[in-house]
Amino acid sequence: MEIPVIDMEKFGLREGSDNLIKLSECLDQAFTKTGCARLVNHGITTQQIENVYAGSSLFFNLPDELKKRYRFVGLEDSTVGYIGLGTERYGEKQDLHEGYLIRTAEDLPGKDLTAEDLPGKDLPAEDLPGKDLPAEDLPGKDLPGKDLVPGWRIATESLHTSLKILSSVILDALSLAIGKERDYLASLHHSEGDKKSFKLLRMAHYPPTNPDAAQTSIRFDEHCDFNTFTLLLQDNMGGLQGRDNDGNWFDLTPEPDSIILLAAQFIQFYSNEKYKALRHRVIIPEEEVKCRHSRYSIIYFVNADGHIPAWPTTATHLPQPPPNVQDHLMSVLVNPVN
Ligand SMILES: O=C(O)CCC(=O)C(=O)O
Ligand SMILES: [Fe+2]
């Protein structure tokens, strides 16, 4: 399966509407054909991405008791926090991923998480989790006794800002693609960062495993996303797959600096089913060196505001009246147990 490549530089991102029309045509083709695209020359630098992975590596390698302090408690009370290994399950198999969900970088662990918390607090900084990274890349390099993950927040904020800019261009182009005014989707996606916002950024970690684990487990079981569209960044470990219209799985292979764009449910419903949310999953790589290695990814879920109908009131194949986005999310998301 050939994944459509969209070169964002060609459209001069923030310029004339003519370019936006061209982008909307590319998105229309990509979403109609495959439900996904590979974005290149999107303006986000390798360094921005690597810095976030470095912080993720530092955090996810902390002991469980510490990570659980930041536990996600469910969408009703809060949309943010740490989701532990095995607390989300999408199918028969055991999911092997953990993640940290945020609305803004401020939701990441703050000054309350210091070197004092670490079991190995007397160790030199280079022996702290993430020691496989060069010392100058370590977000917590100013240890000991300081805020442990300031670099994670700073790096995440920078990446998040860039992802927001990219996503607003895509929202505008998709509005045109579904035959609406340019600002149509933006007007349904106002909220950002506040308690009501369901635009979420997830830092994900897939711990090392072994080839036999694939019998009973999977890194992330198949599903489609419930938001509008998803921007997905992955390291070079591989395993991400999408499912085509005939039910066959194809690889969404990592390529340096590219971002995978996935059509999700909201755009499926609001395009009158012209676009289909892409089913996807992350498998345990067959290649032993890869499956014995951690995998990191960053996923930006662009979602409409909580009070917006989850599907149009004109959709005849769906129950009417539609629930709002917030209630719909609550009903479909697997609520982590703890
Ligand atoms: O980590 C990945 O590559 C995929 C994760 C995913 O599909 C999700 O978080 O919805
Ligand atoms: Fe997903």
239 CA distance to ligand 1 centroid (A)? 11
CB 244 within 8 A of CB 250: yes
Please say whether the structural domain 5-334 has been given the CATH code 2.60.120.330.
yes
Which of 2-11, 116-125, 189-198 is least confident? 116-125
**DSSP secondary-structure letter at 312?**
-
pLDDT at 134 over 90: no
* pTM as predicted: 0.89
* pLDDT per residue as tens digits for the range 136-194: 444 444 433 345 566 788 889 999 999 999 999 999 999 999 999 999 999 999 988 88
CB 211 within 8 A of CB 286: yes
CB 61 within 8 A of CB 129: yes
Q: How far is CA 176 from each of CA 23, 25, 187, 190, 271, rounded to the nearest angstrom?
A: 9, 9, 13, 18, 11
pLDDT at 258 over 70: yes
The C-alpha angle with vertex 282 and arms to 4 and 276, in degrees rounded to 5, equals 45
Q: Which residues contact 189 (CB under 8 A, 6 or more apart)?
A: 171, 199, 228, 302, 303, 304, 305
Q: What 3-state class would DSSP assign to 295?
A: strand
Q: What 3-state class would DSSP assign to 220?
A: strand
* pLDDT per residue as tens digits for the range 82-114: 998 877 777 888 899 999 999 988 888 876 666
Confidence category of residue 18, pLDDT binned at 50, 70, 90: confident
Integer Cα distance of 100 and 201 in angstroms: 8
ipTM for the assembly:
0.99
pLDDT at 252 over 70: yes
Residues with CB under 6 A from ligand 1: 202, 204, 220, 225, 232, 234, 240, 280, 282, 297, 299
285 CA distance to ligand 2 centroid (A)? 18
Q: What is the mean pLDDT of residues 306-313?
A: 96
Starting from the CA of residue 281, give the closest ligand. 1
pLDDT at 127 over 50: no
- Predicted confidence at residue 116, as pLDDT, reads 61
- Predicted confidence at residue 225, as pLDDT, reads 95
The residue extents of the domains of the chain are 5-334
